[in-house]
Amino acid sequence: MSDHPTVQQLATRFVEVFGHPDETLALLAPDVQWWVMPSAGVKPMEGAERVRWFLNGLYAEMLDLATVQAALDELLVQGDRAALRVRVWAETPDGRPYDNVHAIFLTVRDGRIHAVEDYLDVAHGLALITPPPKDGNEIVRVEPVGPDHVKVYTSIEIEASHERVWATLTDFDRIGEWCDSLVKVTGDFRANGVIHTTFRLGLGVEQTPSHELIYFEEGRVFGWSDPVILGIRDNHRYVVETLPNSRTRFVQTDGFTGGLTSVMGRTLAGQVATVFKDFNRALKQEVERRAREA
């Protein structure tokens, strides 16, 4: 009978010490391989010392390790492999909340963990840990409201009047000159009118859905609510807010409800938040460029 801890015991302990480098390293084999999905921007690591660098360095830069808490939602064991669904809560070093779900696979031999594979909602995670610019004029936020409702809020402050921001935003003939995602808008741009928006999805693929403008106020807001995918419905708005001193806050929001929102809503919201952030920054750059040249 082996004196080594079982796969289940090691997996449970791994979650208990999640975010605590020394306790985690005590569970690992010297030649451990630690893999985080490539979209997280972390290369695969080999050896306990390399993992030590990751946990004490890069990981600690993203999260305040003293605040990390983890809960084991589900554990499946087959042979020397364990599959874990882990909910992780923490704060960033500057005090912003982190809440994400990790799917982790462990390979165990001789009472030590020899391989860790960490899959997570990268887009959602990056939206949470990425700090706003130091001037504080940008916000990117994903907000789970309930199991079947996720909101996206983004905003950016622009050094130009709200009239100029609205004029640039709705200059649809030229929108593809400065925006990489929304490249064309046609149709009846008015309250309850139907417009056709061409989005560039990458690899030369474009998609042109139609939207009824159920939100519309000239010079201030337009938007729609339509089915997206797998029964999920969005609630997308572009809003121009007037600030003092001829400045403007541009707000872009969305919300996802219904269908499989409980399964993939946060992933979808994280991806959308990244697209919105890039759109907002491109709009700011174009508006301020036109203002300088006026």
Q: Is residue 138 part of a domain?
A: yes
**Predicted local confidence at residue 28, as pLDDT:** 96
Do both 255 and 175 map to the same domain? Answer: yes
- Identify the domain boundary among 120, 143, 178: 120
Q: Is residue 104 part of a domain?
A: yes
Mean pLDDT value across residues 116-120: 91
- Identify the domain boundary among 60, 95, 120: 120
Do both 64 and 133 map to the same domain? Answer: no
Do both 44 and 107 map to the same domain? Answer: yes
Mean pLDDT value across residues 30-48: 82
Do both 268 and 164 map to the same domain? Answer: yes
Q: Is residue 216 part of a domain?
A: yes
Tokens representing residue 3 in the block: 């004196």
**Predicted local confidence at residue 104, as pLDDT:** 96
Question: How many domains does the structure of the chain reveal?
Answer: 2
Q: Give pTM, 2 decimals.
A: 0.58
What CATH code is carried by the domain that includes residue 210? 3.30.530.20
Mean pLDDT value across residues 13-37: 94
Do both 147 and 22 map to the same domain? Answer: no
Q: Name the nearest CA neighbour of 169 among 255, 248, 256, 273.
A: 248
Query: One-letter amino acid identity for 100?
Result: N
Q: Is residue 1 part of a domain?
A: no
Residue 175 pLDDT level (bands cut at 50, 70, 90)? very high
Do both 66 and 202 map to the same domain? Answer: no
Q: Is residue 2 part of a domain?
A: no
Mean pLDDT value across residues 41-65: 83
Domain that holds residue 86: 7-120
Contact 118, 100 (CB under 8 A): no
- Identify the domain boundary among 100, 120, 140: 120
**Predicted local confidence at residue 56, as pLDDT:** 85
pLDDT at 267 over 80: yes
Per the model's pLDDT, the better-predicted residue between 9 and 41 turns out to be 9
Tokens representing residue 240 in the block: 């121009």
Do both 186 and 40 map to the same domain? Answer: no
Do both 102 and 228 map to the same domain? Answer: no
234 Rama class: left (phi>0) / alpha (psi -120 to 50) / beta: beta
Do both 256 and 134 map to the same domain? Answer: yes
Do both 134 and 269 map to the same domain? Answer: yes
Do both 92 and 53 map to the same domain? Answer: yes
How far apart (Å, rounded) are the C-alpha atoms in residues 251 and 115? Answer: 43
pLDDT at 74 over 90: yes
What CATH code is carried by the domain that includes residue 25? 3.10.450.50
- The pLDDT tens digits of the residues spanning 104-115 come to 999 999 999 999
Do both 148 and 273 map to the same domain? Answer: yes
